[in-house]
Chain A
Amino acid sequence: MSNLLLFPIIIPLFFAAILMMFPKNLKLQRTLAAVGAGAALLSALVLVAKVNTAGVQAVTLGSWPAPFGISMVSDPLSALLVVTSSIITLFVIFYSFPTIGIKREQSFYYPAVLFLMVGVNGAFTTGDIFNLFVFVEVLLMASYTLIVHGGEKPQLRESIKYLLVNIISSALFVAAVAFLYSVTGTLNMADLAVKIPQIEETGILTVIAVLFLVVFGFKAAIFPLYFWLPGSYYAPPIPILALFGALLTKVGVYAIMRTYTLFFTMNIGFTHELLGIIAILTILAGCIGALAYFDVKKIIIYNIIIAVGVILFGIAQLNQPGIDGSIFYLIHDMLIKAALFFLVGIVAVLFGTTDLRQMGGLIKTYPVLGWVYLVTAFGLAGIPPLSGFPGKLLIVQGGFEGPQFWGSIIILATSLIVLLSAVRIFVYAFWGEPVETVPLKKSVFNQMFIPTVVLVALTVAFGVGAELFMPLISGAGEVLLNPSIYIDAVLKE
């Protein structure tokens, strides 16, 4: 069936529209939201199986020939990312039941989450640069709703900053697309990849490439453009934060990944070196933030920035281990960030605060929670059997094989800082003198804890079974390194 790759986009859209009709019916909201996200996940899994056996899937909407209509393309990379984002959305919906509060649930919370899913899945699947802009706007609109949802004072304050930054970067996005269109005369990504190498003046194209780096850098929070992220992500409640932290910046990372491997390869000496240097600066900036705070949410938020740097460094190398490592690390990071935010959310609820200095001794009353957190923290830092290891190993290997060997050394060194920042939460919250905790009903705790544990188990399986997933990952890397596979699938020549 040729439209299979659109199902992860259509299904949540359909359920979101249905849910808009009866906002007050709590039971129906919860069931339909979970059913919608679950169905989308199921179709995404079928899609991965199909892409794995039958190669890159492409469909051009409205039966128009390829460069003229909007192409939707599902290569192994985008199919894997669609699966990951669907898993995360489903778990966030489960985690929302006990945590988000009935008042929020009754004012279009689940439709907003599903619309966010539509935007993210669409951005991962599209093969048209302007359509990418539209899907990015879809997910941003949903994220505006979610960041201000509930209307608490910090949310209102931070949503203004978030809106302002994103509107400016979206305007830049339109300008960048306009420049690219005036130079090449096409918007289809596969067609761009054909046209750009034919243009002899690479000067203007390099400028456009850097402009796109600025645009996607705003979304992905790279070094000088990450200033909005720590404040904005701190404001909304934990399930929304987990959704943002796991998905939103990764769309920017994916867009850089796609554009910098598919068509901005005419002046690698400048653009990819710049990307590599920015990636390292991003890691350093994130590390400083992760060590500076005594606040559990802030520490994990700065870890998002570190991970973005690590992934982008792998892409900047443009060699096989670097790209494969980036893809592996991207998927690992989406899963583990959601799991970490879930865990930190439980800890924050138990103590009634996010300040580390007012916590302590949780290991005596909640031992399982403590050990699950420790495993997740080790996974984040990349301790061998866990999921952070294979990706980082490949990225470091790519750096040593490429021109930026010093970058690999920095990544290895900063892994220690990541471990320190994550273990610090463990030391402060779980060891030491027990502090009085907020009483929490057993059933509520279980409702929060079960999705978290399953997600952590998934990341562990992803790390331990890395050998199983590696063919998929290197298949995705192969398409990125050989744009001709992508171009042939779309233009069908």
Chain B
Amino acid sequence: MRTNDVMLQTATKVVTFIILMFAVHIFFAGHYTPGGGFVGGLLTTSAIVLLMLAFDIETVKKILPINYVTMTAIGLLLALATASASIIFDVPFFTHAYDYFDLPLFGKTSLHSAMLFDAGVYLVVVGVTMTIIQTIGEDE
């Protein structure tokens, strides 16, 4: 018999979004302040884990129908592709590029290709941690 966790579930619905927004903030702030793909990924995972605690694995799977192993593979490919772009320009592997752009809402923003590599790291971290938690959680 499952106890009634209305309080937990209601709080989770609010808190999850705060954690996710914070994860995105940490991820994008990584270039100039502490943060980056690794912490961002872990924070995202913690939000999903909170959902799993408040509801259950099946429900979360229905909300987020993601194959986390594929997600890890895509992250790896993204990181590898960012590093390999240097091969096309015939400069040493992992050479990054950056420039300043005038974006509509943000104004003058510097965009750096290291961001794409970080996105790869982010996907791998989320994918791996979620795979671990899911496989252990579903194990009978």
Contact = CB atoms under 8 A, between A and B. Distances in A.
Contacts of A3: 86-87, 90, 92-93
Q: Which 7 pairs across A and B sit closest by C-beta, in order of nearness?
A: A20-B73, A17-B76, A61-B94, A63-B95, A62-B94, A17-B73, A59-B92
Is chain B's binding surface mostly helix, strand, loop or mixed?
helix
A1 B92 CA distance: 9
Q: Taking each of B77, B94, B96, which has the highest tally of chain A beta carbons within 10 Å of its own beta carbon?
A: B94
11 contacts: A1-B90, A3-B93, A10-B93, A14-B80, A18-B73, A18-B77, A21-B70, A61-B92, A61-B93, A61-B94, A63-B95
B92 to A, nearest CB: 5
Given A20-B69, A20-B72, A21-B70, A6 B80 contact: no
Contacts of A84: none
A182 interface: no
Contacts of B80: 10, 13-14, 17
Interface of B: 69-70, 72-74, 76-77, 80, 84, 86-87, 90-96
Given A10-B80, A17-B77, A17-B80, A2 B69 contact: no
Interface string A1-40: 1110010001001101110110100000000000000000
B93 A59 contact: yes
B73 A21 contact: yes
Contacts, number: 52
Nearest to A22: B70
Contacts of B72: 20
A63 B95 CA distance: 6
A62 B83 CA distance: 9
A21 B72 CA distance: 9
Interface string A434-467: 0000000000000000000000000000000000
Interface of A: 1-3, 6, 10, 13-14, 16-18, 20-21, 23, 59-63, 69, 72
Contacts of B90: 1-3
A280 B102 CA distance: 68
A60 B73 contact: no
A62 B92 contact: yes
A142 to B, nearest CB: 14
B92 A13 contact: no
Nearest to A9: B93
A10 B84 contact: yes
Contacts of B69: 20-21, 23
Contacts of A16: 76
A6 B86 CA distance: 12
Contacts of A69: 92
B93 A6 contact: yes
A59 B83 CA distance: 14
Nearest to A5: B93
Contacts of A61: 92-95
A36 to B, nearest CB: 13
Contacts of B87: 1, 3
Q: Taking each of B72, B74, B87, B93, which has the highest tally of chain A beta carbons within 10 Å of its own beta carbon?
A: B93
A72 B92 CA distance: 10
A62 B73 contact: no
